[in-house]
């Protein structure tokens, strides 16, 4: 597992965020001692951090079970973030249209801290059981959207992102090194297209395209996902033109989008 960069000198706020992230990663309410065992902070320090976060509503403390979980205050903050910093509100009509035409699961993702963050999703009519939902994060090095975005990053930004990858072999098709991934990224850059060939989950494949800024850098990615039980990679290829034009439409809307300067 990778962790949020605990750069020295990040300050108290960084430490607090680190703790919040740690608790969020458990994906279930946790007891103090469990957090402690995963944390680099001494008991008293962690205790105070957790207390502070709880009193601020960033954590919720369950008195009965003596557990901590991320608090609802985060949800209202995220609402503002989603509306202002994600492509989702702008892309919504385009994603709707694509999903309706294609009838498979559509994902809209952005890169955040070297990871793929799914900011919107449309389920297939007959939904496949799989890992994804808006707000969910996933690895960049072994997903279609991740590779699409990495390929169209500036060199410096890509280096930063690559350094944050875990290279965990989720399946036998997963890239496990910088070198082999970079190789594929060249192809992705050439085609403007990235495939996930069961690299993250066995039986799950997808095709993804980057959403590019006017300067040719990726600001997000769009993908169509399916299972090998339903379709093959070459079946997916048939959707490519439609996905590409949708990505371009989203890019255009994003560029046009003017924030009220007032």
Partner DNA sequence: CGTGGAAGTTCCACATAGTGAAACTGCATT
Partner DNA sequence: AATGCAGTTTCACTATGTGGAACTTCCACG
CA 105-178-147 angle, to 5 degrees, is 20
CA 231-236-238 angle, to 5 degrees, is 125
Interacting residues with a second copy between 110 and 169 (CB under 8 A): 110, 112-113, 115, 117, 119-121, 123, 128, 130-137
3-state secondary structure 118-163: EEEEECCCCCCCCCCCCCCEECCCCCHHHHHHHHCCCHHHHHHHHC
Interacting residues with DNA between 39 and 68 (CB under 7 A): 41-45, 47-49, 52, 66
In this chain, which of 7, 12, 27, 80 binds DNA, going by CB under 7 A? 12
Please identify, using beta-carbon distances, which residue of 43 and 230 lies nearer to DNA: 43
Instruction: Label residues 11-28 b or e (16+ Cβ within 10 Å = b).
Output: eeeebbbbbbebbeebee
In this chain, which of 3, 45, 81, 187 binds a second copy, going by CB under 8 A? 81
Question: Of these partners, a second copy, DNA, none, which one is at the site of residue 32 (CB under 5 to 8 Å by kind)?
Answer: DNA
Task: Please report, for residues 28, 122, 128, the alpha-carbon distance to residue 46 in angstroms, rounded to integers and kept in the order given.
Answer: 19, 39, 40
* Closest approach of DNA to the CB of residue 23, in Å: 13
In this chain, which of 53, 95, 207, 251 binds a second copy, going by CB under 8 A? 53
User: Does the protein bind a second copy through residue 79 (CB under 8 A)?
Assistant: yes
DSSP 105: E
Helix, strand, coil % in the chain, rounded to nearest 5: 45, 20, 35
* Closest approach of a second copy to the CB of residue 22, in Å: 11
In this chain, which of 36, 41, 47, 69 binds a second copy, going by CB under 8 A? 69
In this chain, which of 35, 58, 162, 236 binds a second copy, going by CB under 8 A? 58
User: Does the protein bind DNA through residue 260 (CB under 7 A)?
Assistant: no
Alpha helix positions (H), 170-229: 178-191
> For residues 62 and 31, what is the distance between their CA atoms, to the nearest angstrom?
10
Task: Please identify, among the stretches 32-40, 79-87, 134-142, 201-209, the one whose residues bind DNA according to the rule CB under 7 A.
Answer: 32-40
Question: Of these partners, a second copy, DNA, none, which one is at the site of residue 163 (CB under 5 to 8 Å by kind)?
Answer: none
> For residues 193 and 207, what is the distance between their CA atoms, to the nearest angstrom?
7
Which chain residues interact with DNA by CB under 7 A? 9-13, 15, 31-33, 36, 41-45, 47-49, 52, 66
């Amino acid at each position: 597992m990778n962790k949020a960069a605990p750069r020295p000198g990040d300050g108290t706020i960084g430490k607090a965020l680190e703790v919040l992230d740690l608790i969020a990663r458990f994906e279930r309410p946790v007891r103090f001692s469990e957090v402690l065992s995963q944390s680099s902070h001494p008991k008293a320090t962690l205790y105070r951090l957790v207390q502070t976060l709880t009193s601020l509503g960033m954590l919720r403390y369950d008195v009965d079970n003596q557990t901590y979980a991320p608090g609802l205050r985060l949800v209202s903050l995220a609402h503002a973030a989603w509306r202002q910093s994600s492509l989702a509100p702008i892309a919504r009509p385009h994603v709707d249209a694509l999903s309706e035409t294609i009838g498979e699961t559509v994902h809209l993702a952005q890169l955040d801290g070297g990871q793929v963050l799914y900011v919107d999703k449309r389920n297939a009519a007959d939904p496949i059981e799989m890992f994804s939902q808006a707000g969910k994060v996933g690895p960049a090095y072994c997903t279609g959207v991740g590779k699409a975005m990495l390929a169209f990053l500036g060199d410096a930004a890509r280096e930063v992102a690559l350094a944050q990858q875990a290279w965990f072999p989720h399946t036998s098709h997963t890239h496990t090194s910088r070198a082999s991934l970079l190789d594929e990224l060249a192809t992705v850059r050439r085609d403007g297209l990235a495939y996930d060939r069961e690299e993250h989950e066995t039986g799950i494949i997808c095709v993804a395209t980057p959403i590019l800024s006017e300067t040719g850098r990726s600001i997000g990615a769009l993908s169509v996902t399916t299972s090998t039980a339903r379709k093959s990679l070459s079946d997916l290829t048939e959707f490519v033109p439609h996905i590409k034009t949708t990505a371009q439409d989203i890019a255009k809307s994003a560029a046009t989008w003017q924030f009220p300067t007032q």
